[in-house]
Structure 1
Amino acid sequence: MWQRVPGAEYGLVTEIITGLYMSPLEILALLGAVALVVARWLPPSARPRVTIAAGAVLVLSAILLGVTGIRWQLLPVLAGAAFALPFALSPLLRPLRRRPGRPAWRARWWLALPGSLACAGLIATGPAAAWALPVPEFPTPTGEFAVGTRVVQWTDPRRPETFTTDPDDRRTVVVQLWYPAQKSPAGAQWAQYLGRTEHEARTVSDALARQVGLPGFLVDGVPRAHTHAVFDAPVDGGRGRFPVVLFSPGSGGVRTQNTAWAEELASHGYVVAALDHPYDSAAVVLSDGRTITTETSSTGDPDQDEKLAADWTAIRAADLGFVLTRLDGLDRGETADPLSGHLDTGRAAVAGHSMGGAAALQAARQDRRFHAVIDLDGYPHGPASPALDQPTLALTQAITPATDPRYLPRLTEALKSSTTTSYRLTIPGAAHLTFMDGPLYLPPVPSIVGSLGRTESPRVVAAATLAFLDATLRGKPGDLAGALPAYGNLSVYRPDSTL
């Protein structure tokens, strides 16, 4: 099926074939390469026409791909075609060289078959790689609102930057906002994924790849992607004020790592503010052009790592509280801003993935302005007191013998000690990276991204989140204990019960 992907401007066109993750131009190159291999096995009468047509399509496609930008996944296709081309052309050229009266010679099938199979195998590597490591296709948000996005940078004058030795350096965070917007005109530019510009996106993508020990070219499709939001789109001002959800990414993660989740929430009337944490996030590009890379890493000593994680979590929690303060001031018009008067910071939730989930728990303990907490598979770090006063939803991957044995007891302790009802929802088939955008562009290996699939993973996580937010921030009638089991295995922790 053909599917238009907004702004997916890799190659020449903006359409791909769903499930194959290749553009029509790339498909043409693939078909031309396959036809060159097949031509050897066609009847002599058809062979010349097929070879000439396939060669023309392949050469034209290769030239256009070279001009518009070729992905590494197409290199095996072109290499296989290059090997096959001389053998496909040879029968056409042989009559020009053959002496009169001498019979035409053709290689025996058992000599030609290994070469054809080798070329076919090389060509098949291309679409397999494009499927395994694609340009991500972001799911279309299902809410009634269009989605706008913008990036702001704020400095906290009261907090020194503890990762540097400069006494005058103050803590700075970069925040991306997704918000309900007016419908954009046809042809509006969709937002780049991972950054404000393609250069920033590539900087961040390369840093994320280095962090996990991968060469950057393997995921070169990720910074080519565009999303379903429009930068600086006018806010939808006719619906009053919108609840706010702050988000902290995982260790080394970046503000855009949960874009599909953020866009879905924004389309349903929430403002999502996701943070980059400098010196913790893989790469943070500041407004002056400087790039700050991560300086956090494991020591290998469990006790020392736990202490470091608690310290980093505390910094993130302070970042979250600071951003909520700035959003409150922005809403009250302390600075001229299109979102002034549209943010309901009196209905605010704090969320995070992995270490960001731990930061969300700590931020809620320290700052009662947060009215709900969402922990996306985050191991709690830092102090377990005071008790949480806010309803909490913890989404976890399936618990297996390989799961850290300390994880579930620590999380259960935090939820059981809450002074209000809290929930743990274990999603069957989920892995740790299910709770971010990873399933959209990483190989569909269950141990890495879970077994829910590229479409279902973001849908389930966003749907469970929305059910919780609608109940806790909007007071939407309904029984969460009855609704959440639609997405996984639910445990409910009430202040007067240990169930």
Structure 2
Amino acid sequence: MGTLLLLIMLIFEIAFAIYCMATKLNHKKLKNWVRVAVFIAFVMLLLSSVIDWNFSWVILTIVLFIFAVMGMSSLLYNKRNRQYKTSSIIWKTIVTILVLSIACAPAIVFPQYKSPKVTGTYQVATATYTYNDKNRMEEFTDKGDNRFVNVEFWYPKNTDKSYPLLVFSHGANGIKTSNTSTYTELASHGYVVVSLDHPYHSFYTVSVNGAKVFIDKGFNSEVSNSNKEGIYTNEEVYGLIQKWMKLRTDDMNFVIDTIRSKTKSDNDPLYQAIDIEKIGVFGHSMGGAASVSLGGERKDVQAVVNIDAPFFSELVYKKEIDDFVARREDYTTPLLNIYSDDVWKQLDSNSIYIANKPDNIHFKNAYTVHFQGAKHLSLTDLPLFSPILANMLQGGKADIDKYYAIETENELILNFFDFELKGIGHFTPKETY
């Protein structure tokens, strides 16, 4: 919609400029009426829900309002036309095009889109909280503050039953709402989903009091450089992996333990709707790695979904060969792996994905599926929310249809948790989608 509106306005501006130059007149009165009409038409599109109002339309709304006010002022006060000058027409057209392009940019980068389908029968409610961990100090600052974790819940609304708890961890530079369509689909089928921001690992996070924290530059640099040749040794990469996993699993443990405590002591209907004896964890990228790690550590975690992540917790660094090897211990928690092309093509290499190899006998009971044509971010909502950003971050457009990818992924995750946590049906996924 943003691209279409910009195109229409640019065509008008250019056509009007050509008309003025052809007639050697400014036609200011006509242009003022058009400015007012354009703003009224834009408001009508908003009121009729043709345009879904969100933050991306704010700048354009302000610009069109200012243009309309200026036009109406000129019409009311009957300001005389200035003497026609071709150079003036050209420069005003260029400036107007530039202003409109900037105003439309947010709507182009973050276009409106239809939400993936929700197939469950429960209405879904949300709630946000900030949990403060009195047992941990924040390592990213020197203020002596305790570590905090912001969480958001998606859960069935207005019911008197209890539902399994699912805990989600986002990827590096991600945010807790990265897979909102997944949480909504799961909650609509009778799950309480809690997604957490890992402060200083997430792109940004906002506490319930409005305080904002952005990604730590040091962490961002570590992640970026760990994917480049010659920056870190394998031993240094292994040390970074352990540090990242400890922070994330500590956050997830803290959230689960906090929720477990609140189900016993807090009368909030949300906590009373949680069946704390049925817990699943899942995550994307680094969050998937943390989920696999947590699933191997906690006995109360009964199912794990790993979305496009290496098994960091299953790596061992061997100094004598200066390389990684896979741990030789069975992973017994039910596990579903969902891989894009970006990860799938690395599974046969001796890299940080060595433990993920399909022939790893210690994961013989794990389910593994490949989304052919998908890129790393195809398994999040970002290609829907901002196709331009997704393509930039993942190095191009994915071949797979973005709605097919996320809706099929959501269906697989739902069926897996239904089978493992609720004992519903059978889970027999295809190897390739």
On whether the aligned pair clears a TM of 0.5, the verdict is: yes
1:52 Cα shift? 7.3
* Equivalent in 120, 129, 146 of residue 123 of structure 2: 146
2:333 is matched with 390
Give matches, 1:296-375, under 5 Å. 296-297=219-220, 298=222, 300-303=231-234, 304-331=236-263, 333-375=264-306
1:397 Cα shift? 0.9
Superimposed CA distance per residue, residues 73-104 of structure 1 (whole angstroms, 9 cap, x where no aligned partner)? 799999xxxxxxxxxxxxxx99x99xxxxxxx
SS at match of 2:312: coil
Q: Does 1:421 align with 2:365?
A: yes
- Cα distance in 2 between the residues matched to 1:477 and 1:401: 28
- Paired amino acid for 1:463: E
- Cα distance in 2 between the residues matched to 1:288 and 1:341: 24
More helix by share: 2
Residue pair 1:244, 1:270 contacting (<8 A) in 2 also: yes
Q: Does 1:463 align with 2:411?
A: yes
- Cα distance in 2 between the residues matched to 1:450 and 1:284: 28
Structure 1 residues 56 and 153: CA distance shift in structure 2, 3 A: closer
Structure 1 residues 59 and 410: CA distance shift in structure 2, 3 A: same
Superimposed CA distance per residue, residues 7-50 of structure 1 (whole angstroms, 9 cap, x where no aligned partner)? xxxxxxxxxxxxx257xxx94x8646534544657999xxx898
- Paired amino acid for 1:276: D
Count matched residues: 378
SS at match of 2:183: helix
Structure 1 residues 272 and 138: CA distance shift in structure 2, 3 A: farther
1:412 is matched with 357
Residue pair 2:122, 2:188 contacting (<8 A) in 1 also: yes
Structure 1 residues 428 and 74: CA distance shift in structure 2, 3 A: farther
Give matches, 1:240-279, under 5 Å. 240-279=161-200
2:37 is matched with 57
Give the alignment's TM-score, normalised by structure 2. Answer: 0.71
SS at match of 2:367: strand
Give matches, 1:29-428, under 5 Å. 31=8, 34-35=11-12, 37-38=14-15, 54-58=34-38, 71=58, 129=105, 132-137=108-113, 139=115, 141-164=118-141, 169-182=145-158, 236-237=159-160, 240-295=161-216, 296-297=219-220, 298=222, 300-303=231-234, 304-331=236-263, 333-384=264-315, 385=327, 386-399=329-342, 403=346, 405=349, 406-412=351-357, 416-418=361-363, 421-428=365-372
SS at match of 1:255: coil
- Cα distance in 2 between the residues matched to 1:72 and 1:291: 23
1:177 Cα shift? 0.8
1:137 Cα shift? 3.5
1:473 is matched with 421
Residue pair 2:2, 2:111 contacting (<8 A) in 1 also: yes
Superimposed CA distance per residue, residues 124-146 of structure 1 (whole angstroms, 9 cap, x where no aligned partner)? 96899567412453615332111
Residue pair 1:150, 1:178 contacting (<8 A) in 2 also: yes
- Cα distance in 1 between the residues matched to 2:196 and 2:140: 17
- Paired amino acid for 1:265: L
1:450 is matched with 398
Residue pair 2:170, 2:285 contacting (<8 A) in 1 also: yes
- Paired amino acid for 2:259: L
- Cα distance in 1 between the residues matched to 2:359 and 2:283: 15
2:381 is matched with 437
Residue pair 1:432, 1:448 contacting (<8 A) in 2 also: no
1:321 Cα shift? 2.1
1:155 Cα shift? 2.9
Q: Which structure 2 segments of 5+ residues have no match?
A: 47-54, 66-79, 226-230, 316-326
- Paired amino acid for 1:430: A
- Paired amino acid for 1:148: A
Superimposed CA distance per residue, residues 134-182 of structure 1 (whole angstroms, 9 cap, x where no aligned partner)? 245361533211111111222333444444556x644322211110114
Structure 1 residues 464 and 54: CA distance shift in structure 2, 3 A: same
Q: Which structure 1 segments of 5+ residues have no match?
A: 1-19, 79-92, 98-104, 108-113, 183-235, 490-499
- Paired amino acid for 1:359: A
Structure 1 residues 120 and 325: CA distance shift in structure 2, 3 A: closer
1:306 Cα shift? 3.2
Residue pair 2:35, 2:64 contacting (<8 A) in 1 also: no
- Paired amino acid for 1:180: P
Structure 1 residues 287 and 62: CA distance shift in structure 2, 3 A: closer
1:59 Cα shift? 6.3
Residue pair 2:175, 2:203 contacting (<8 A) in 1 also: yes
- Cα distance in 1 between the residues matched to 2:110 and 2:187: 25
Residue pair 1:415, 1:422 contacting (<8 A) in 2 also: no
1:58 Cα shift? 3.6
- Cα distance in 1 between the residues matched to 2:343 and 2:297: 32
Give the alignment's TM-score, normalised by structure 1. Answer: 0.62
Structure 1 residues 136 and 345: CA distance shift in structure 2, 3 A: farther
- Cα distance in 1 between the residues matched to 2:344 and 2:282: 27
- Cα distance in 1 between the residues matched to 2:179 and 2:136: 27
Residue pair 1:432, 1:449 contacting (<8 A) in 2 also: no
- Paired amino acid for 2:370: T
Structure 1 residues 136 and 33: CA distance shift in structure 2, 3 A: closer
Percent identity reads 22
SS at match of 1:319: helix
1:121 Cα shift? 8.8
1:285 Cα shift? 2.9
Structure 1 residues 122 and 342: CA distance shift in structure 2, 3 A: same
Structure 1 residues 137 and 321: CA distance shift in structure 2, 3 A: same
The CA RMSD measured in Å over matched residues stands at 4.5
